[in-house]
Structure 1
Amino acid sequence: MRKINFTRVLIFSLHSWLGLISGIFLLLLGLSGSALVFLKEIDQMINAEVLHVEPKGQALSLDTIYRKIGRQHAHLTGIAWLNPNAATDEAYEFRLYQNDGKISTYDLGMMSINPYSGAILRDGNLKDFNPSFMHWILQFHWSFQLGLPGLLLATVFGITMLLSTITGSIIYRKYIWKVFTFQVKMKWKNWRTISSDLHRIVGVWALFFNLIIFFTGFWMNKFAFDPGYWKKQTVSAPTNVLSVQPADQLLRTARNAMPDLIPQHIYLPTQAEKLFRLSGPLKNQSSFFYNGNSVAIDPGTGLVISMERLTEKGLWAKTEATFFPLHAGTFGGTPVKVLYVIIGLLPGLLSITGALLWWRKVKKRYN
């Protein structure tokens, strides 16, 4: 009996300290994550005047825009075209992968370009509010805007929050079924009963979602534990080496190689060892899967180097392909996104109610 009590005390203490240590970060990650569910919609609304373009004549070739970016930013590790399926009145969006050799910065930039005139509409780093506050939030969600140490911190907190959820499920295991069947009622007597019941009820309802969100977030960022990745970030990006073959020709070759692939992400190489890569879902592929299909081409010879199809991969690869949609709520329409906004706010609520419960316990101990 004493062993059981000791185990329960240990689990309860672990749950409390995990929550206290990660509480403020849990709140920040939850708020930023909820905002990012509608990243594109909010960004386009805030910057409508900038991102809306007038279709005038024929759009410039991808190669022209690619080389324009390469001239504008002479030291890049790569360029990604984020919206190859952009509407005719929509600016092209590019992610710029940079490396200044400092681990204190997370070297991501962005550029928005008018595809008809070639005018640069936005240009800057995600560490700054300008060019885009929403993309600043995106990088904050990844790394708290603290560079690689922040990325590692966010990954570690993914583990602590996962452990907090697991220990919480053990502590409240007797209430799980009762909460799901609405047998547990809220007591509105005072702040103590309110915080206690909210923590229990919200924690149970959010249990399944939190396990998914925290695990997928940790898993997608686990490269933060790779010493080799850190070492690479200490070497500044050399001068660009752009593709010998025109980017448009590389794109045509990739699409011909896999005609059932829907372009979602196009990687444009800026260094000699990098490949041109077209990736995205296949036609009729479930929205629960993110990518997993790609065509890689040598930018020097224009030859196809490799092709990957999710349908030909193993079970674990297919499982991993669901992590981003499950983490970001991209597998459904507006109702699913609204649900994810609410889900994103729940961890913050749990951190607040958990802190109140801890404070109540501390006051009781010293009174």
Structure 2
Amino acid sequence: MNATTIRRWSFVHTWTSLICTLFLLLLALTGLPLIFHHELEHLLGDAPELRELPPGTPHLDLQQLVAAAERHRPGEVVQYLGWEDDEPNGVVTIMAATAGTEPNSSHTFMLDARNGEAVAMPAANGGFMMLMLRLHVDMFAGLPGKLLLAFMGVLFVVAIVSGVVLYAPFMRRLRFAEVRRDKAPRTRWLDLHNLIGIVTLSWALVVGVTGVISACADLVIAAWRNDTLAALTAPYRAAPPLTQRAPATDVLRIAAGAAPGMQPDFIAFPGTRFSSEHHYTVFLKGNTHLTAHLWTPVLIDAQSLAVTAVGTRPWYMDALALSQPLHFGDYGGRPMQILWALLDVLTIIVLGSGLYLWWSRRGPLPGTPHAAREVQR
């Protein structure tokens, strides 16, 4: 690689890094507590706690739970009911003024499936963990914030690739992982910056790419609605508005019959963005670590309770479903959480050291980055 090529790659690496660094620092700092969100919710007292009841207490049926939710928040409608693996007696309930209300304006709580008692979920409606999540997801700016973070993620990936390109010529006169401790502080930090960057390379690429995909979730869901869901509900386009719907009592049993061997993840009620005006949509998931994150939607006519379609998963919804837990290290239990946290801290060091190296550089050419000058020495 000649000097001109090195300077060009170095220019790309420096400026893509600089543009995204402050945003990446925000994401790395807010992402750290989100890796341990379950543990922190319990520590902060934000996790819902159900009352102790005799073992074997039967569950209410779904329509009874819907009625309990409506009594808890009169004047609102149920948008979603969902289930969590770590709380078999709880049903996560999301309600809002209308079925089509956007997610940030809804209210989330847990219903005790045994008696319909409502239990607060502070972490889902406010508090420290919600603050961290909103800063990490959209910086409280909605879709524009998500798209800005997606663009920063793309720049981050470009910075990683350009850093890899520069790494080989930079290390041609050094042993792998060598830190020149006898040199000036700036040179030592440059060596550490490159060492930690190459060690965290694979993880950073995974988190960067999955972060970009997750940031585009609203666009992915809109594409699914306009493509797959529209095709599944095409026979209902000319149907009159739904004035009365059948009770939700049996929708889980009906969905299980349409897709045997799967378990429910959540139900989208008529009028929500994961359903249609005329359907209950039951999203089922598999039983393995991989398939537990992949949804199969079963559409049930909200008036007749007939199954009208069992949806297939387009590739982009699979990509979204798999990227979100991978982004936060949710696949491998506590060991993976700890690994993700350590790599996150190392990434913060890489980002901070990159800012230091740029700020402390010397030379007459402000557009020529530190790496190019170091490589040519």
For normalisation by structure 1, the TM-score amounts to 0.77
Q: Deviations over 1:253-300 (max 9, x none)?
A: 1112222112233333355626323334323x4537721433222222
Q: Deviations over 1:50-95 (max 9, x none)?
A: 424322554333223334445627566932414277234xx43234
Query: Offset at 1:305?
Result: 2.4
Distance (whole Å) between structure 1 residues aligned to residue 46 and residue 123 of structure 2 = 20
Q: Deviations over 1:129-152 (max 9, x none)?
A: 2xxx32332232211122222122
Aligned to 1:92: 91
Are 2:297 and 2:311, in contact at CA under 8 Å, matched by a contact in 1?
A: yes
Aligned to 1:236: none
Which runs of 5 or more structure 2 residues have no equivalent in the other structure?
227-241, 367-377
Distance (whole Å) between structure 2 residues aligned to residue 98 and residue 14 of structure 1 = 48
Aligned to 2:369: none
Structure having the higher Rg:
2
Aligned to 1:112: 110
For normalisation by structure 2, the TM-score amounts to 0.75
Aligned to 1:18: 16
Shift in CA distance, 6/365, structure 1 to aligned 2, threshold 3 Å: closer
Aligned to 2:205: 211
Aligned to 2:360: 360
For 1:56-71, list aligned pairs within 5 A.
57-70=57-70
Aligned to 1:142: 137
Aligned to 2:177: 184
Shift in CA distance, 80/49, structure 1 to aligned 2, threshold 3 Å: closer
Percentage of pairs with the same residue: 22
Distance (whole Å) between structure 2 residues aligned to residue 199 and residue 330 of structure 1 = 28
For 1:64-79, list aligned pairs within 5 A.
64-70=64-70, 72=73, 74=75, 78-79=79-80
Which runs of 5 or more structure 1 residues have no equivalent in the other structure?
233-240
Aligned to 2:235: none
Aligned to 2:286: 282
Distance (whole Å) between structure 2 residues aligned to residue 306 and residue 266 of structure 1 = 15
Aligned residue type for 1:12: S
Are 1:279 and 1:295, in contact at CA under 8 Å, matched by a contact in 2?
A: yes
Query: Offset at 1:187?
Result: 3.6
Distance (whole Å) between structure 1 residues aligned to residue 243 and residue 341 of structure 2 = 40
For 1:125-164, list aligned pairs within 5 A.
128-129=126-127, 133-164=128-159
Aligned residue type for 2:20: S
Shift in CA distance, 344/297, structure 1 to aligned 2, threshold 3 Å: farther
Shift in CA distance, 243/358, structure 1 to aligned 2, threshold 3 Å: farther
Q: Deviations over 1:109-137 (max 9, x none)?
A: 422333344333226795732xxx32332
Aligned to 1:235: none
Distance (whole Å) between structure 1 residues aligned to residue 203 and residue 36 of structure 2 = 18
Query: Offset at 1:354?
Result: 0.3
Distance (whole Å) between structure 1 residues aligned to residue 201 and residue 69 of structure 2 = 45
Aligned to 1:246: 247
Distance (whole Å) between structure 1 residues aligned to residue 100 and residue 307 of structure 2 = 32
Aligned to 2:263: 262
Shift in CA distance, 256/98, structure 1 to aligned 2, threshold 3 Å: same
Aligned to 2:25: 27
Distance (whole Å) between structure 2 residues aligned to residue 292 and residue 161 of structure 1 = 30
Are 1:85 and 1:263, in contact at CA under 8 Å, matched by a contact in 2?
A: no
Out of 182, 192, 196, the residue aligned to residue 198 of structure 1 is 192
Q: Deviations over 1:189-220 (max 9, x none)?
A: 55423421221011101111111111122123
Distance (whole Å) between structure 2 residues aligned to residue 8 and residue 333 of structure 1 = 42
Are 2:281 and 2:300, in contact at CA under 8 Å, matched by a contact in 1?
A: yes
Are 1:22 and 1:160, in contact at CA under 8 Å, matched by a contact in 2?
A: yes
Q: Deviations over 1:293-325 (max 9, x none)?
A: 332222222121222466xx77x7766653234
Are 2:211 and 2:327, in contact at CA under 8 Å, matched by a contact in 1?
A: yes
Q: How many residues align?
A: 342
Out of 156, 163, 168, the residue aligned to residue 168 of structure 1 is 163
Aligned to 2:305: 302
For the residue of structure 2 that corresponds to 1:266, the secondary structure is strand
Aligned residue type for 2:65: I
Are 2:299 and 2:308, in contact at CA under 8 Å, matched by a contact in 1?
A: yes
Shift in CA distance, 126/101, structure 1 to aligned 2, threshold 3 Å: same
Shift in CA distance, 41/108, structure 1 to aligned 2, threshold 3 Å: farther
Within the alignment, does 1:322 sit opposite 2:315 as a pair? no
For the residue of structure 1 that corresponds to 2:360, the secondary structure is helix
Aligned residue type for 1:276: Y
Aligned residue type for 2:143: L
Distance (whole Å) between structure 1 residues aligned to residue 74 and residue 171 of structure 2 = 54
